[in-house]
Amino acid sequence: MQNTLLDAGPLIALFDNSDNHHKRLLNFFKTYNAKFHSTWPVITEVMHFLNFNPNVQSDFLKWLQKDPISINPQNKNSLEKIRNLILKYQNVPMDLADASLLLLSEEEGINHILTLDKDYIVYRIKKKKFIYVLPNS
C-alpha cells in the first residue's frame, strides 16, 4: 500500500459532482490502493470550497469520520518550517495547505501526492527530491 499525500482539489472534486474532475477522481479513488495522509489546513480548504451546500459539507465530514485519511496534527512548532517554505516558494506561490503537505512529506518521507495542482512539480523535499504527482493524465 502506497503512502500518499492528499491535497484539497481531489477531495473537492470527489464531493462536488458538478466538478469537471469528479468522475475521473471517483474512479481513481476506487482503484488506487493507498494510505492517504493530509493536514488540517487541507481539510479547512475543502470545507471552504464545499460551502455551496451544507449537506455536501456534512457528507464530507461524515466520510472523514470513517477514517479514510490520516490527518497530521501539525502544531505551533510547525509554523516556522511552514513559514520558511512559503517564503522559499513565494514565486510559485505556496499557500498554507500546500506548505503543510510539503512539510508532512519531509517529516514522514512520503513522496507521492494526489493533487490537481501543477505547483508540486516545482516543489522539492529533502535532498532536492521531487514528489510524484498523481493522478497521471
Give the tens place of pLDDT for each residue, 21-53.
Answer: 999 999 999 999 999 999 999 999 999 999 999
Per the structure block, which three cell numbers stand in for 39? 493536514
Q: Check if CATH label 3.40.50.1010 holds for domain 2-134.
A: yes
pLDDT in tens, 86-136: 999 998 889 999 999 999 999 999 999 999 988 878 888 776 777 888 886
CA pair distance 13, 115, nearest whole angstrom: 10
What is the predicted pLDDT for the residue at 127? 67
37: left (phi over 0), alpha (psi -120 to 50) or beta: beta
Residues 73, 40: Cα–Cα separation, whole Å: 7
pTM exceeding the 0.85 threshold for the entire prediction: yes
